[in-house]
Amino acid sequence: MADIRIVQHHNLPPEAARAAACQVADRMAAEYGLACRWSGDVLRFERSGVHGSLTLDGSHAAMHIQLGFPMSAFAAAIKAKVAESMKKVFGA
């Protein structure tokens, strides 16, 4: 099992940060077949072999992804792709 954690700084107001989180979630859902749902400021996602969350606070977006054994072989590629996506939508 692989555990991925990515934290991206942002200077977005809460509404814009949530919209950016939705962009990341939409990309992940389309690419990896994830089901996503909001619980307050936490976006939870899952599918067989993958689950995690994207948590927003005033200046950071924190992604936590847990990959089951079959998906853990792709952990490095998934981390790189998600980190790049978060950097694009939340800004450097």
> What does pTM read for this prediction?
0.88
Strands across the sheet with 50-56, in order?
2-9, 60-67, 50-56, 42-47, 35-39
Q: 10 vs 91, which has greater pLDDT?
A: 10
Which of 28, 20, 59 has its CA nearest to residue 46? 28
**Domain with 55 in it: what CATH number?**
3.30.310.50
Show the domain range for 14: 2-90
Segment 31-46, tens digit of pLDDT: 889 999 999 989 999 9
Give pLDDT tens digits for 12-25.
999 999 999 988 88
* Tally of structural domains, the chain: 1
- The set of residues, in sequence order, having a beta carbon less than 8 Å from that of 54 and lying 6+ positions away, is 21, 24, 25, 42, 43, 45, 61, 62, 63, 64
